[in-house]
Amino acid sequence: MSSTAVSLAAGTKTGRWVLLVVAATLVLVPLAVALLPFSVVLAMGSSTATAFTGACLGGAATVAASQTVDGYGHDQLVIAATIIQVGRAQGVDVHGQQVAVMTAMGESSLQNLNHGDAVDNTTIGVFQQGAAYGTRPQRLDPATAAAAFYTRMLTIPGWEAMDPSLLAHRVQVNADPNHYTAFYKPAGDVIAALTGTTPASCQVPADAAAAAKLLVAAIAAGKLTFLESRYEQQVISMADGTATANCLLDVHVLQVMVIAVNNFQQVGISDLNRRCTGETPGAGTSSAHWQGKAVDFYALNHQSLTGEDDLSIQLIRLIDPYVPHGSGLGQSNIRAANGDPITGLKNFTLQFADTGDHQHIQVP
């Protein structure tokens, strides 16, 4: 039996079924297997990922003196800008910001109302929040009300992939789950007008080649840099389909890099697939780098990373919602030594010691 057939047999029931087909093919038409395109073999063993929209914090929101957007006037846009800024401060991406603005549109037309409606006249503010959200002054303060909305939204498992109106319904517990749907596009229009950022500009593809092509564009723009050209070549090879078996990069690693490029002015990478380079420092062949499942960031916005600096922490919190559960972080020793352990993470469940000259990210 060929080594190719053995590798296909490993793992799932699907793999064993493929083995039977391949074995039969070897008997009937052995040359057909020899001519099987390498890209097809790669596709059989590739990781699966989820595409994300709006996976960046976006720009700061500003409102011009006489600005209107989709019928919303200056005062309403000021409230929208407040909601956006609070979301950015809490590390909520553009998609989450759009959900919040959409909800405020559906609840109050972006007005800070001091009364409720015919259904419940005890709710107040831009989000029409009840007493459980805080005191009357707190609920009538758009920034405090927005923070309370985001806090509840972030506790909902899988909120990033939920239908926007259903997500808002889960937070608000309103009568009609689809009530907010009509406000989703206007909310996106408002965010685009006030920040210059659209969800489309923050796409994270589920396809490895598509993600790599975005990174190649960032390389061309000077936004993504590498300490060594051989790591840059690994990304380029993933984009053009020429990557060999030893030089593959996991799609989730590529997604992490795309999210970083979407959120920072400059991103510096110091390490990727070590099997491709033949290097075995640190954990050697047991390292996630050896499998193409890790990336080391040495700089963001032209500032060196240590694993406990503000930019490292910002990066970690930005990508935590999007990496697979069971992903890992290096530099826990650096954070602990500086009294800054990072907590409250959802998908980064593994933290370990590493040198303090980069931020290590790995996926399972």
Q: Which two tokens stand for residue 316?
A: 């970690």
The ranges assigned to domains in the chain are 3-45, 74-201, 208-362
Non-local CB neighbours of 147 within 8 Å, separated by 6+ positions:
86, 90
3-state DSSP: the chain helix, strand, coil percent, rounded to 5?
50, 10, 40
pLDDT given at position 54: 82
75-97 pLDDT, tens digit per residue, is: 999 999 999 999 999 989 999 99
pLDDT at 62 > cutoff 90: yes
- CA neighbours closer than 13 Å in the CB half-sphere of residue 301: 10
Cα 193 from chain centroid (whole Å): 23
Torsion of CA 221, 224, 227, 230, to 10 degrees: -80
- CA neighbours closer than 13 Å in the CB half-sphere of residue 30: 3
Cα 361 from chain centroid (whole Å): 13
Task: Give residue 269's pLDDT band: very low, low, confident or very high (50, 70, 90).
Answer: very high
pLDDT given at position 298: 98
Write out the CATH class of domain 74-201: mainly alpha
241-254 pLDDT, tens digit per residue, is: 999 999 999 999 99
Q: What is the DSSP letter of 71?
A: T
3-28 pLDDT, tens digit per residue, is: 333 332 333 323 323 333 333 333 33
Among the residues of 221-309, which ranges form H helices? 229-240, 251-263, 274-277
Contact between 318 and 57 (Cβ < 8 Å): yes
- The Cα angle at residue 52 between residues 51 and 54, in degrees rounded to 5: 155
Q: Which two tokens stand for residue 127?
A: 């989000």
139-187 pLDDT, tens digit per residue, is: 999 999 999 999 999 999 889 889 999 999 999 999 999 999 999 999 9
Contact between 329 and 360 (Cβ < 8 Å): yes
Task: Give residue 52's pLDDT band: very low, low, confident or very high (50, 70, 90).
Answer: confident
The DSSP code sequence of 91-112 is T--HHHHHHHHHHHHHHHSS--
Non-local CB neighbours of 117 within 8 Å, separated by 6+ positions:
123, 128
The average pLDDT across 42-63 equals 76
Non-local CB neighbours of 276 within 8 Å, separated by 6+ positions:
230, 234, 244, 246, 247, 292
pLDDT given at position 119: 64
321-350 pLDDT, tens digit per residue, is: 899 999 999 999 999 998 888 888 999 999
pLDDT at 30 > cutoff 80: no
Task: Give residue 55's pLDDT band: very low, low, confident or very high (50, 70, 90).
Answer: confident
